[in-house]
């Protein structure tokens, strides 16, 4: 039987919860009897029940109505069922205990705690397992999660706002919005897509930014990371309001990123000024660079983003897409050196 369409359906079930499941991967599950969907489930909320368990629990209420025994059912799930005791019990055991005899999996879990172990447990208990259905779609849907396990560090995006003459801010410290309101609204979406937002001690003091994601839907806010060696941090700054903040007295960028390789943070958005951004870029630790470019000039009172011409390309970035946001231009670059 071809399960592609059912797997696509499970992927779309998972997608609905991408802002509340994070930093966990999103997962969808379906129970089928022949070609009829009996129940559906998704991992809806960080720390809450997994997709397979939700689908099994819903189906339990339909025994004797839509089917007689779980042995008749096939479980479709986008990601390999877990085999470890995390916040919930192992899903592979719950599947085995339900009596399900066939499981179709989108993608093997890249997490070393799980990878292959869930599948092995199912096979050991006589469950027929098929793996790799719409594998690429599942990987794309959980891009940061797969990246983290492949490269053993979170995905790093740098976002900057730039004047047409490639300046970051005014030398005299006078505040100015570089980009238009619509671009700044767009940044909220970029923020909510990431698991953490990182900035430096000067930006904290000079700009007093909130750096939360102001979105009009329910979402898990990104964690915040502050790099500073300053003593006497001013905790009344907006950055600290209602936020979980890691304050790191570390200037070695590689060590900063390494700190998160065993955490649940799969992606970090860097929103800082030229010094810190250039440190990230020169250490080769940036995967994606987003530039919001305004048509205005800051002129001689502006601080340059980069020291040399074609710096972005020289750092190994290639323009992947660009489009207008009112009079601004949003440019997305990907690191092609990695």
Give me the residues that bind ligand NAP (CB under 6 A), please. 160-161, 168-169, 178, 199-203, 206-207, 227-230, 251, 253, 271-276, 279
Place of tokens 């430096």: 200
User: Which DSSP category does 254 fall into?
Assistant: H
C-beta closer to ligand NAP: residue 69 or 251: 251
Least Å distance, CB 236 to ligand NAP, is 16
Rounded distance between C-alpha atoms, residue 47 and residue 98, angstroms:
22
Q: Spot the catalytic one: 52, 80, 166, 293.
A: 52
Give the containing element (helix H, strand E) for 14: helix 4-15
Least Å distance, CB 248 to ligand NAP, is 8
Least Å distance, CB 287 to ligand NAP, is 18
Is residue 52 part of the annotated active site? The answer reads yes
For residues 246 and 226, the answer to whether their CB atoms sit within 8 Å is yes
User: Which DSSP category does 81 fall into?
Assistant: P
Q: Which token pair is 292?
A: 């919001």
Least Å distance, CB 318 to ligand NAP, is 21
C-beta closer to ligand NAP: residue 207 or 328: 207
C-beta closer to ligand NAP: residue 41 or 273: 273
C-beta closer to ligand NAP: residue 201 or 316: 201
b vs e for 158-170, b when ≥16 Cβ sit within 10 Å of the residue's Cβ?
Answer: bbbbbbeebbbbb
Give the containing element (helix H, strand E) for 4: helix 4-15
Rounded distance between C-alpha atoms, residue 49 and residue 56, angstroms:
11
Query: Annotated catalytic sites, by residue?
Result: 52
């Amino acid at each position: 039987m071809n399960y592609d369409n059912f797997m696509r359906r499970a992927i779309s079930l998972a997608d609905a919860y991408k802002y509340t499941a994070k930093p966990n991967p999103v997962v969808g599950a379906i129970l089928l009897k022949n070609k009829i969907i009996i129940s559906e489930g998704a991992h809806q909320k960080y720390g809450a029940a997994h997709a397979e368990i939700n689908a099994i629990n819903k189906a339990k209420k339909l025994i004797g109505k839509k089917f007689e025994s779980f042995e008749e059912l096939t479980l479709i799930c986008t990601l390999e069922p877990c085999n470890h005791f995390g916040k919930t019990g192992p899903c592979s055991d719950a599947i085995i205990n339900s009596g399900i005899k066939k499981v179709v999996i989108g993608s093997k879990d890249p997490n070393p705690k799980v990878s292959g172990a869930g599948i092995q447990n199912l096979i050991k208990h006589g469950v027929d397992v098929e793996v790799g259905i719409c594998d690429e779609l599942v990987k794309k849907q959980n891009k940061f999660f797969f990246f983290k396990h492949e490269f053993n560090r979170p995905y790093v995006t740098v976002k900057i706002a730039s004047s047409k003459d490639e300046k970051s801010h005014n030398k005299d410290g006078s505040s100015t919005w570089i980009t238009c309101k619509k671009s700044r609204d767009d940044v909220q979406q970029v923020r909510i897509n990431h698991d953490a937002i990182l900035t430096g001690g000067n930006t904290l003091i000079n700009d007093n930014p909130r750096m939360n994601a102001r979105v009009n839907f329910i979402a898990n806010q990104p964690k915040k990371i502050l790099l500073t060696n300053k003593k006497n941090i001013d905790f009344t700054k907006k950055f600290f309001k209602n936020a979980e903040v890691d304050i790191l007295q570390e200037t070695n960028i590689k060590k900063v990123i390494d700190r998160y390789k065993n955490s649940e943070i799969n992606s970090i958005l860097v929103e800082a000024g030229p010094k810190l951004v250039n440190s990230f870029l020169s250490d080769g630790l940036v995967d994606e660079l987003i530039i919001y470019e305004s048509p205005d000039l800051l002129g001689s009172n502006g601080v340059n983003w980069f020291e040399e011409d074609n710096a972005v390309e020289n750092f190994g970035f290639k323009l992947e897409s660009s489009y207008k946001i009112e009079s601004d231009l949003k440019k997305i670059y990907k690191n092609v050196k990695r």
